[in-house]
Amino acid sequence: MLTKYVPDKYQKSIYTINYKKLKREGIKCLIFDLDNTLVPASVNEVSKKLKDFINDLKIMGFKVIIMSNSPKNRVQIFQKALMVDAAALSFKPNKDKYEKIIKLYGFKAEDIACIGDSITTDILGANKMEFTSILVNSMSKSDHYIKFFNKLEEKRILNNLRKKDLLVKERYYD
């Protein structure tokens, strides 16, 4: 079943997603992956561009949450600087943390969009939860918190998706 890895939308980066359209589609909450989605995995600070961007989303009325498989000390840097709620060590695509978020904020599945760079964690997890899943390209090749095996697995599935014409890199859709 390859379709569970196929995102509802695929965009170049967090900055090219049509958030007005998401709003019209009824999305109230945006759950962002951290590493290689909001910032390159090696970066430890928040740029003005990112800060302004997150602020604009808040002004639009979205609840913004960072959900990362990275450890707490890393996630907290961004949580504080961007003044958003965040979950560390999320074990995506495991459902537990997603279900906690739904309960905590009282959202329904159709209220939530998840944005991330990995089909085996961010997209699979969001699809399992029946959230809107949005894939973006990785901001860098290295990701400290992704094991070598997982990278191979991600590559293998991407290859199969391409062969079946289900997902082709850089063929964006919204």
Q: For binding to Mg ion (CB under 5 A), which residues are involved? A: 33, 35-36, 117
CB nearer to Mg ion: pick between 33 and 154: 33
Cβ 65 to Mg ion shortest distance, Å:
15
Cβ 153 to Mg ion shortest distance, Å:
14
CB nearer to Mg ion: pick between 24 and 147: 147
> What letter would DSSP give residue 83?
T
Cβ 121 to Mg ion shortest distance, Å:
7
The label of the residue with tokens 């089909």 reads 119
Q: Residues 105, 3: contact at Cβ < 8 Å?
A: no
Neighbouring C-beta atoms of residue 90, cutoff 10 Å: 25
CB nearer to Mg ion: pick between 117 and 154: 117
Q: Which residues contact 61 (CB under 8 A, 6 or more apart)?
A: 23, 28
The label of the residue with tokens 């007005």 reads 20
